[in-house]
Structure 1
Amino acid sequence: MVIGAGVVGAAVAAELAARGAHVTVLEADHPRAGTTANSFAWLNSANKEPEPYFALNLAGMRAHREFAGDGAPWFFPSGNLEWAVTDRHKEVLAERVARLKARDYPAEWITAEQAGKLEPDLAAAPSHAVFTFFPEEACTLPVLLLSRLLGGARDLGVTVVGGARVTAIEHGPAGTTVICADGGRYPADTVVSCAGRWTRGVAELVGAHVPMVDPDLAGSASVGFLATTAPATARLSRVLTGPRFNVRPDGGGRLMVQALDLDASADPAKPYAPDGEIATELLARLPEVLKAAGHGRGEGPGRPARHAGRRCHGGGLPRHRRSVLCGGDPQRRHLGPPARPPGRGRALRQGVPPAEGLPTRPLHLGRGTAPAASGTPPGQAVRRARRCSGTAVATAHRYLTLLLTGPHA
């Protein structure tokens, strides 16, 4: 039994089925409605510390690439281009590149001219800027990845049950029974939680405690913004991480954007208008990165939605995050998997150990997308997202899953 039908749950279910298990996946809402629904979907290990966490991220990068094979519509292994302008940023970047090269992680110093050849529509940077290219990094279109994983799981006989919110897990002489809010009862010999930001609540059903940052706390490290633009005319083929703005292609000419310095003002209880101050500021920064994008525009009506995800830029252990989407049709979101093993639990097969005892720090992560509903006025698709986890225990769940019952519990 797997709880949660996001990227991690789908991958775990497919792997278990491939090994001969009879698997049922219980999803409280619908697939892609939870943690998977918000991610910058940037596959990297460039700033992930300490070293065991770096190794886990690197394994995830390789598993994505292996799973995609010679090509997949959800996978874009085009690298990441980062540049620094301030002395402090240059110093941090230089330290990171040296550390990565010592670990044989591809990182290259390039010139402004070379950066322009990689991205012809890259906005002009100050003459004193320095550029670094991380060629092995990638980004995904997560909704397509999730579809691939769930489709593969179903092909192997996995049953996916939507609208099945787990409210109790009972143990008895005959085994374990998972009970849902709709009255459904599902027998299981082993239960694996892939419940994202709901991990703590699921774990409490069996008397376990998983410390996690409160995803409802305004101004905390668990809160941040994301936005998706309307289709833009700028050419963009990879992740760009600039001094004040990050952007990646999001399919159909749309761009996913974030500005990490704005996150401190995010309030999970506050609605954000599609043409409000945050949305306007995000789009105003777009020309700093892409010259052909103009000031861009958001898209979608002011329609709220709640989901979860992560921001992908800095280092440290991950935070689960919850977000509010202002604008767009929530049924058409691109969903963001973490930069971790998608290929049917590859890390589990490789025996990656849980990251016990590791420190927890804020991790910059990205959120999902907000395509427009047809016939609606242009606006801003802004997401207030929360990165919310807390400890290595939560990290072990997030990426390796949490085994709630069974012979190894």
Structure 2
Amino acid sequence: MTTQKIAIIGGGVIGLAVARALALQGVQVTLFEQQHIGAGTSSTTFAWVNSNGKQPLSYHQLNALSMEEHVKLQLTQPNGLRWLETCGTWEWAAEGEAQQRLLQRATSLQSLGYPAREVTPDQLQREIPELRRKTVSGAVWHFPTESVLHPALYLARLWSEARAHGVILQQHQAIQRIAEQADGVTLHLENGEQWQGDRVVVATGRWANQLLNTLDVDLALLDTSKPNAVACSFLARTAPQPLSLGANLIAPQLNVRPDGGGRLLLQALELDDLADPAAPPSTQSAIAEQFRERYQSLFADAGELQIEKIVVGQRARPADGLPAIGYVTSEQRVYVAVTHSGITLSPLIGRLVAEELVQDHASDLLADFRPQRLMGRSAGDFAPIKRNFPAAQ
């Protein structure tokens, strides 16, 4: 049997996870990346691994199973490198309606077998001594199986294993167009070269349509080029702070997670309507001052917040919020894998996509997420995505 030749376009978590999984099955894989590994959304994300309120049920199940896949992958890390910290999430809500939504979400998750327990504010303060007790309102919920992930270290794990199994990396290589034939596919590179093989996987996230359009294929994706709180988010990275935080904290005014070496990664979702990818704020801006004020209102004796950088994360997001995974052409030579929650979903999607490509057998877990529902439509054809709980960001 002839070894399959498959190209992956996009060196983020989805592309690398697919490349790794294909290589483990003996496929000859070439990975094309226009910039460098992790240059896109994978490096500008809160990187919270969860299935906390994700709907419909099939999407919840996909995320929950991928959480388990992450844990298995971390357990097989050969050199002790920790890119996944299953530290749990602490969450509370601000006012009556939001508290009721949190209660409904938590109890619904419990009914699905997703670990969630109500704790007292005193229990939370023992975990985070610097927390200002007066800022905690209503019930506090703990989701113990959720994790935070360090994207650069996770990408290193995926790439080291992919490379060890023969994946060829072509960095700083832009693809001009894709051409499909009955017996294969051709990539035309901007430097004039060509790659020919059996199949190609487009895993370029928010840029997917740039290549799919060369095949007269268009997916309904959210526009991330302008302010849009569903598509864009501020992320503030700090210098090391004297804060006793070893878990993910979701509070009404601020989301805070450890980012290694005492550094923190912060979100303030209420501010995201102002998040403009073309104009990320400086560390001396009004947005930076908002982060400082929110930090000081949440914690006492945890240092004056030292922000090193604020970036605007741009999410890869199909217009209905769900993944787009599957073939997009009649000859089934071009496959797309574009999704929000890529950090959470990547290890499972990598394995499932590889199985579909190698075994030519459709996965039941991916049945609800085929790209055809998005093809030839615009984002305006879909109901606006509601962001009424933190994990829907």
What is the TM-score when the length of structure 2 is the normalising length? 0.80
The one-letter amino acid of 1:275's match is: Q
Aligned residue among 8, 13, 17 for 1:7: 13
Structure 1 window deviating more from structure 2 (342-351 vs 291-300): it is 342-351
Alignment match of 1:49 (pick from 55, 61, 86): 55
Question: What is the match of residue 352 of structure 1?
Answer: 365
> Which amino acid in 1 is paired with 2:56?
P
Matches for 1:180-219 after TM superposition, within 5 Å? 180-219=189-228
| 1: CA distance, partners of 2:288 / 2:123 | 32
- Equivalent pair of 1:38/1:337 in contact (CA under 8 Å): no
Q: Secondary structure at the match of 2:289?
A: helix
Report the Cα offset of residue 178 of structure 1. 0.6
Matched, 1:23 2:32: no
CA distance in 1, matches of 2:139, 2:119: 8
- Evaluate the alpha carbon distance shift between residue 214 and residue 123 of structure 1 in structure 2; reply closer, same or farther with a 3 A threshold: same
Match of residue 86 from structure 1: 95
Q: Please, which of 68, 75, 100 is the counterpart of residue 84 of structure 2?
A: 75
CA shift at 1:124, angstroms?
Answer: 1.6
CA contact (8 A) 1:112 1:131 kept: yes
Q: Which amino acid aligns with 2:287?
A: I
Report the CA distance between 1:176 and its aligned residue: 1.8
CA distance, structure 1, for counterparts of residue 256 and residue 368 of structure 2 = 30
- Partner of residue 243, structure 2: 234
Q: Say if 1:344 and 1:127 are closer, same or farther in 2 by CA, change over 3 A.
A: closer
Matched to 2:168, the amino acid is T
Counterpart of 1:112 in structure 2: which amino acid?
P
- Once the two structures are TM-superposed, the CA of residue 221 in structure 1 deviates from its matched residue by 2.9
Q: 1:129 to 1:173 in 2, by over 3 A?
A: closer
Q: 1:209 to 1:139 in 2, by over 3 A?
A: same
Offset from partner CA, 1:346-399 (integer Å, 9 cap, x none): 344565214346976245899xxxxxxxxxxxxxxxxxxxx8xxxxxxxxxxxx
User: What secondary structure, in the 3-state scheme, does the structure 1 residue paired with 2:92 have?
Assistant: strand
Question: Which of 176, 185, 202 in structure 2 is aligned with 1:176?
Answer: 185
Q: What is the match of residue 328 of structure 1?
A: none
Q: 1:380 — aligned with what?
A: none
Q: What is the distance in 2 between the residues matched to 1:220 and 1:260?
A: 8
Asked if the contact 2:277/2:313 (under 8 Å) is kept, the reply is no
Residue matched to 2:343: 338
Asked whether the equivalents of residues 53 and 317 of structure 1 are also in contact (C-alpha less than 8 Å), the reply is no
Q: Alignment partner of 1:224: what SS?
A: strand
Q: How does 1:182-331 map to 2 (within 5 A)?
A: 182-219=191-228, 221-299=230-308, 308-309=314-315, 317=321
The structural deviation recorded for 1:89 is 1.7
Q: Counterpart in 1 of 2:334? A: none
* Cα 1:196–1:354 shift into 2, 3 Å: farther
Give a deviation string over 1:136-183, Cα, whole Å, max 9, x none: 101110100000100100000000110111111123476321111122
Shift of 1:87: 0.9
Alignment partner, residue 36 of structure 1: 42
| Change in 2 beyond 3 A, CA 1:214/1:183 | same
Instruction: Give 1:44's aligned amino acid.
Output: N
Q: Pick which of 140-149 and 48-57 moved more.
A: 48-57
Please state whether the residue corresponding to 2:294 is helix, strand or coil: helix
Alignment root-mean-square deviation, CA: 2.8
- Closer/same/farther in 2, CA of residues 149 and 362 from structure 1, 3 Å limit: farther
Secondary structure of the 2:366 match is coil
Count of residue pairs brought into register by the alignment:
345
Q: Is the 8 A contact 2:229 2:273 kept in 1?
A: yes
* Corresponding residue for residue 361 of structure 1: 385
2: CA distance, partners of 1:131 / 1:184: 57
CA distance in 1, matches of 2:301, 2:245: 10
On the 8 A contact 1:38/1:310 being kept in 2, the answer is: no
What is the deviation of 1:49? 1.2
Q: Is the 8 A contact 1:48 1:54 kept in 2?
A: yes
Q: 1:125 to 1:183 in 2, by over 3 A?
A: farther
Instruction: Tell me if structure 2 keeps the 8 A contact 1:67–1:343.
Output: no
Q: What CA distance in whole angstroms lies between the structure 1 residues aligned with 2:243 and 2:178? A: 51
Q: Residue type of the partner of 1:77?
A: T
* Percent of residue pairs bearing the same amino acid type: 31
Aligned-residue offset at 1:127 = 6.7
SS of the counterpart of 2:26?
A: coil
- Tell me the residue number matched to 1:113: 122
Task: Please give the secondary structure, in 2, of the residue aligned with 1:345.
Answer: helix
**One-letter amino acid matched to 1:147:** A
The structure with the largest helix share of the pair is 2
> Could you tell me how far apart the structure 2 residues matched to 1:359 and 1:164 are?
37
Q: Unpaired runs of 5+ in structure 1? A: 321-335, 367-386, 388-409
Decide whether aligned partners of structure 1 residues 151 and 308 sit closer, same or farther in structure 2, where only a CA change above 3 A counts: farther
Cα distance in 1 between the residues matched to 2:93 and 2:347? 32
Greater Cα shift, 36-45 or 207-216: 207-216
Where do 1:143-154 residues align within 5 Å? Answer: 143-154=152-163
